Amino acid sequence: MLRTALIAGAVLLLILALDHCRPEYRITAYCSCEKCCKKSDGITASGANAIQGYCATRDLPFRTVIEIEGVGIFKIMDRGPVDRRHIDIWFPTHRQALEFGTRKSRVKVLGLKGVQYVFMQ
C-alpha cells in the first residue's frame, strides 16, 4: 500500500511538471476497425471496451483524465501512437475518425484514476 502511494505521488509530480509546460500535442482519431487497430474487437490496451471519451497515448498512465484544448475532456484508456506528444481520440465509426482529422492542441492533465487535482495557474 505504501509503495503504491509512493508511486502515485511520483506520478503526480510528473503530471504537475507536464502541466506546467503544457506542450502542444498532435491530436488524431481512431475507431475500433481493422484499419485503425489491426483488430476489431473494441477492447483497449487497458482491457476496457472502447467508448466515447476514451483516448490513447503512451505519455501518461491509464485512467488519467485530460482536457484537450478546444476539443474536450478524455480519459486515457488505450495505448496507440508510439511517438511522444501524440494523442489518439476514439470515435464510434471510421467515418467520424476521418472527419476529425489531425490537429495540434495543448493538453492539461485534470486527474489520475478518477482523483481530481487542482492546478494553480
Residue 40: all three cell numbers together: 476489431
Exposure of 85 by Cβ count < 10 A (0-12 exposed, 13-18 middle, 19+ buried)?
A: middle
Average pLDDT, the chain: 83
- Over residues 49-75, the pLDDT tens digits come to 999 999 999 999 999 999 999 999 999
Look up the domain containing 46 and give its range.
2-116
80 is a domain residue: yes
Phi, psi of 57 (to 5 degrees): -165, 160
Structural domains in the chain (count): 1
d(CA 105, CA 108): 10
Q: What is the CATH number of the domain that holds 6?
A: 2.40.40.10
93 bridge partner residues: none
Does this model's pTM top 0.95? no
**Side-chain half-sphere CA neighbours of 87 within 13 A:** 34
121 is a domain residue: no
